Structure 1
């Protein structure tokens, strides 16, 4: 740990005592932003609200890029480095879902409040926290509400920014609403895909074993479950969703399976990818139906070492707050930082339940700790305490 980090750790108790006013504003931002639907690829209304808040805070260059990311700059006193603070704007909920947010004593409940309404609200309110705490940064803060992040979006907004921005980024922080103590500074290898079964209109239902698209997808699942997975490198296959059919007495002509391969080794991801494609082709051949394989997203493993000063500082700040770090690899925006060789971490701000359900809820009391963590980490990066020695 950098010797100078002790100074920041000693500031944290006083920071928490002064956060009541900006935290109230953060709560208002959380409610308003969470009640704006923002399914992936349809985030424009939410990014417009973010830009309005950025402009109210008199930030510079409040704008969207060609991808639709919401961007603004809080200039530093020296401006010799840029720190990117990002929160993904999209949610997994369609516009048809009721986005009414309920505030109860100690909790806020509603679709997307934790993933990632709170993260976006923290991003919008961060300049007010710094002003209220009388914190002046040497570095420029680039604030970014990133779009097209989840699912088929494949973190396209963040990737676009990394490839086209004229700002050299010194370090980055990805903000997630849940969970406080979450700390990611590495990415695991990942492939996200979909297998779709279509039964042709002229299908011969007298074929042996003919049973419809759901039965065929079930066969694909059973075959995938038979693939041996190694204990090292740690590897898993996650079935995210399955859907198909329309009624009790109608044989389904289509069904789809969404899955994700995760492994510490990129070669193992490639191996399992080939295995699953072969299974899809074989089931197609045996059933006489169309089994289509689509790849939507891929991540490479990598990231910071455990001993990197940014990782060390993030752990030390959490421990100072009395929180045990929950270290786990990420497949989110952090991957784009890793691909660009920029040191970055992903953190959470509070505790929550029922994540990605319409009854999603977050706890209010821990938010001051979450924001203290975020601001402490920004200060550590700003003052050079997270720089790796050359």
Structure 2
């Protein structure tokens, strides 16, 4: 089905795009492209594994100050942000990218350039987003843009992996005054994420008495067998195709080589399950927990000697959420991308820093920071800066459009 944008939004964007001040910002962004790439190369070498973002945060704070932001600060969670004040009309708008990467310290130690590509772990995800944030500020300043809304530009922590989008979640809980979020993540300029995939990641620990593999056999229940029963039951759970719902047991651990001839005392499984619908996510969680409980009861009853117990460790809890595909923020970013010469593509769900705002009912989208990339989340990650400035132009025009209280 063809996606149609409100004619008023199209007209407003045409007027803004032809505005002399806005054009000045466009020209600046293209001319500033080499400087933006220089910052990207500089920042990627300041390593920032999830939960270890402090050094990059310090550097990013200085970069925000250098762009003239006021009230630059690091919050109690490690998020770094500053303000570009407008007229103070309407709620604050956030433009952010995450500072953390998936790589351990010692991974991003050098940059290799070959055949038009820049190789370095983290060079795209999300170092590109961070410098796109900086480039957007510079463009607004160069064009002397005055916005209706105040802007908050930010680098967040704890987006990746076990961070579970935590930096943005904590920030949003601390700042109910935020009225919109533009999240920059990854490369390209076509993809629009406007939905939030719900995520649950947890560990389940199974406990028993343990003993010798032969001597205790028949006298004690086996926590490892209970865990295996649970995994088998989880594997048989059926989930809906729509909204997309998934699950995976991703880790299974018990004992060690020294105890290979033992009935273990403890066993652990780790699992992740997701859904684009909150109701479906909660239903799946209930089924998984029933499977675990049933498995423990079955293993206990199998031997009738002792009781297998279990407990949970919660790692990630992101609520599912959505917003109308025809919401003004979605229509606006769609049309901006078209105006800049690309064909917009809507993602189905998504695990981005837009997720928590969306689940909280705050208008938010996630878009790319430009260029092309590959090998993301591997040590062979690469980035190609060809036409990357066009995505910054998208962010700049979209941010300006969204800051004008026209809806």
TM-score band by shorter chain is 0.7 to 0.9
What is the rounded CA distance, in whole Å, between the counterparts of 1:100 and 1:32 in structure 2?
10
Q: How does 1:1-390 map to 2 (within 5 A)?
A: 1=6, 2=9, 3-10=11-18, 17-76=27-86, 78-81=87-90, 82-165=92-175, 168-195=177-204, 202=211, 204=213, 207=217, 220-238=230-248, 241-242=250-251, 251=260, 257-284=269-296, 293-328=312-347, 329-350=349-370, 351-385=372-406, 387=407
Shift of residue 377, structure 1, vs aligned partner: 0.7
| Deviation (angstroms), 1:231 | 2.6
Distance 1:271 1:143, change over 3 A: same
CA distance in 1, matches of 2:84, 2:115: 34
Provide the rounded CA distance (Å) in 2 between the counterparts of 1:263 and 1:105: 40
Mapped contact 1:75–1:139 kept (Cα < 8 A): yes
Distance 2:354 2:146 in 1: 26
Task: State the alpha-carbon separation in 2 of the partners of residues 216 and 13 from structure 1.
Answer: 65
Residue of structure 1 equivalent to 2:303:
none
Q: 1:13 to 1:73 in 2, by over 3 A?
A: closer
Greater Cα radius of gyration, structure 1 or 2: 2
1:311 is displaced (CA, Å) by 0.5
Cα deviation, 1:90-111, whole Å, max 9, x if unaligned, reads: 1221214344333334322222
CA RMSD of aligned residues (A): 3.3
The alignment partner of 2:289 has SS state of helix
Report the count of equivalent residues. 381
The secondary structure found in structure 1 opposite 2:189 is coil
Q: Distance in 2 between matches of 1:205 and 1:197?
A: 21
Question: Which whole-Å CA distance do the structure 2 matches of 1:366 and 1:262 have between them?
Answer: 35
**Contact 1:9 1:317 (C-alpha < 8 Å) held by counterparts:** no
Gaps of 5+ in 1: none
Q: Which moved more, 1:254-263 or 1:265-274?
A: 254-263
Change (3 A) 1:380 1:275: same
Deviation of 1:24 after TM superposition, in Å, equals 1.5
Change in Cα spacing, 1:137 to 1:199, as seen in structure 2 (3 Å) is same
Question: Residue 361 and residue 257 in structure 1: after superposition, are their counterparts in 2 closer, same or farther (change >3 A)?
Answer: farther
